């Protein structure tokens, strides 16, 4: 007998999953929602990933999942900066991804800000072992820690993310005690206003997901050390937990988490 609240797997369609995500609390933004395929498709399985890379699409097909939930945009360039996406669909990566999705009959749904609000930011902090935030305002998180050199935070971040190296901007021997967290892509120069917001809360060190040299020079001139980890790595923890919660809400539906790796290696 089906328990109250359980889902009959044979009746779960892609739009049911979308409804569950959209009911988590945050309103979907214009860059979220169905990106490819049939929202009414009966589901054989769902794969959760940071980005719908070719490797993630192939994993979904091999594991019998006909829906992919991705956190990042599936097309290039990033849709928010490139209206009129249809003219870019012949680009090599877009063409290859769409071809693979069509061949496998996979529907794609993007959940970006909705999952950032729900779990991704706070799960990154939890994995870093930063404790409870001293500041929690919107997406801003500040953590007070016992004073220690930046180098100790570097070791802590590498262990949490399973990375053998990270990039560090500024003095690694500086003793710091107030951590700001520009996770994901909020350490990039296009989001430097977010970095400045963290500095406004008194952060004396930043642990970022992804950064770039424009942002690093900003941090150098602001005299605040920056530890860059990985965009995907900083967000995989929250996505993995979301996959577990989705599986609990839809018992019997196959739910798979695909961990997108750091895309570079030490040269």
| Whole-number pLDDT of residue 81 | 56
Q: Which domains does the chain have, with CATH numbers?
A: 9-111+235-258 (3.40.1390.30), 116-229 (3.40.1390.30)
pTM for the complete prediction? 0.93
| Cβ 49 vs Cβ 56: under 8 Å | yes
Residue 6's φ and ψ, nearest 5 degrees, are -75, 160
> Can you count the helices (H) and strands (E) in the chain?
9, 11
Per-residue pLDDT tens, the chain, 267 aa: give them.
233 344 455 689 999 999 999 999 889 998 999 999 999 999 999 999 999 999 999 999 999 999 999 999 999 987 655 667 778 888 999 999 999 999 999 999 999 999 999 999 999 999 999 999 999 999 999 999 999 999 999 999 999 999 999 999 999 999 999 999 999 999 999 999 999 999 999 999 999 999 999 999 999 999 999 999 999 999 999 999 999 999 999 999 999 999 999 999 988
In whole angstroms, give the CA distance from residue 8 to residue 57.
Answer: 25
């Amino acid at each position: 007998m089906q328990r109250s609240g359980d889902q009959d797997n044979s009746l779960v369609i892609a739009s049911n999953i979308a409804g569950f995500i959209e009911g988590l609390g945050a309103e979907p933004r214009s860059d979220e929602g169905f990106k490819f395929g049939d929202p009414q498709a009966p589901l054989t399985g769902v794969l959760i990933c940071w980005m719908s890379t070719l490797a993630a699409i192939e994993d979904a097909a091999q594991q019998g999942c006909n829906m992919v939930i991705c956190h990042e945009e599936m097309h290039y360039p990033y849709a928010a900066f490139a209206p009129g996406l249809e003219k870019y669909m012949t680009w090599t990566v877009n063409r290859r991804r769409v071809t693979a999705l069509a061949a496998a009959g996979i529907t794609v749904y993007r959940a970006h800000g909705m999952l950032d609000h729900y779990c991704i930011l706070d799960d990154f902090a939890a994995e870093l072992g930063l404790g409870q935030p001293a500041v929690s305002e919107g997406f801003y998180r500040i953590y007070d820690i016992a004073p220690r050199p930046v180098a100790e935070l570097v070791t802590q971040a590498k262990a949490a993310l399973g990375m053998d190296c990270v990039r560090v901007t500024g003095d690694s021997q500086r003793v710091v005690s107030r951590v700001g967290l520009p996770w994901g892509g909020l350490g990039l120069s296009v989001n430097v206003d977010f970095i400045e917001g963290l500095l406004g809360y008194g952060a004396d060190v930043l642990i970022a997901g992804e950064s770039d040299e424009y942002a690093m020079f900003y941090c150098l001139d602001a005299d605040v050390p920056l530890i860059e980890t990985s965009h995907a790595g900083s967000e995989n923890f929250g996505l993995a937990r979301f996959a577990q919660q989705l599986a609990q809400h839809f018992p019997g539906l196959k739910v798979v988490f695909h961990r997108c790796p750091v895309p570079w290696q030490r040269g």
